[in-house]
């Protein structure tokens, strides 16, 4: 587990940007943490790092958004509102994101449906402006060097 404190929004975007530089097609990143903790903001930083030109907005109502203007396609899902693993399966996000990066907000709620190879990031609100991010690499992610993110 790697812990990084992001004192400002800019720090959070920066950590996401550094992570984006390490991403490969097929990667799955799960963002966990309460509403307003920075999961969507982190995804914006990730997308910016991948050169996405469109504005990245929360997928909490539409559940899934796709961005294809970057170096890698991004599929951005938010499963907070989903009632079941069946509904998650119906979204078909792994197929949608097979040639790119999949980011799932609240993804820990569908953990049984996730591939073991994923990076989980837990967001904790420390105070109004600061967040603590805890990165837990699963499966093959354990062999990756994430030191540069801190
Ligand atoms: N250090 C920080 N990192 C990320 N977001 C921050 C930070 N400090 C304040 N914020 C604010 O917290 C909010 C996070 O919102 P959002 O990313 O939509 O959260 P979530 O997707 O987890 O519900 C934004 O309004 C952002 O400006
Ligand atoms: Mg969000």
Could you say which residues of the chain have pLDDT below 70? none
Strands 101-105 and 74-78: parallel
User: Distance from the CA of 38 to the center of ligand 2, in angstroms?
Assistant: 7
Q: What rounded mean pLDDT belongs to the chain?
A: 97
- 112: tokens are 């049984």
Do residues 27 and 102 lie in contact, with contact meaning Cβ atoms separated by under 8 Å?
yes
Q: Is 76 in the pocket of ligand 1 (CB under 6 A)?
A: no
**Tens-digit pLDDT profile for residues 93-105:** 999 999 999 999 9
Specify the CATH superfamily of domain 2-143. Answer: P-loop containing nucleotide triphosphate hydrolases (3.40.50.300)
What ranges do the domains of the chain cover? 2-143
Q: Is the pTM of this model over 0.95?
A: yes
Helices 39-49 & 9-20 angle (0-180, nearest 10): 50
Give CA angle at 84 (111, 78), nearest 5°.
Answer: 65
What is the Cα–Cα distance from 131 to 13, expressed in whole angstroms? 11
In whole angstroms, what separates CA 60 from the centre of its chain?
Answer: 14
């Amino acid at each position: 587990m790697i812990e990084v404190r992001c004192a400002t929004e800019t720090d959070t975007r920066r950590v996401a940007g550094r992570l984006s530089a390490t991403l490969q097609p097929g990667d799955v990143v799960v963002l966990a943490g309460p509403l307003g903790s920075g999961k969507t903001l982190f995804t914006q930083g990730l997308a910016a790092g991948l050169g996405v030109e469109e504005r990245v907005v929360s997928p909490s109502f539409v559940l899934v958004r796709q961005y294809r203007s970057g170096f890698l396609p991004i599929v951005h899902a938010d499963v907070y509102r989903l009632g079941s693993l069946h509904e998650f399966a119906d979204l078909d996000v792994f197929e949608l994101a097979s040639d790119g990066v999949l980011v799932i907000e609240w993804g820990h709620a569908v953990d049984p449906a996730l591939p073991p190879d994923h990076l989980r990031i837990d967001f904790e609100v420390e105070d109004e402006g600061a967040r603590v991010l805890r990165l837990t690499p699963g499966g093959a992610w354990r062999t990756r060097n994430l030191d540069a993110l801190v």
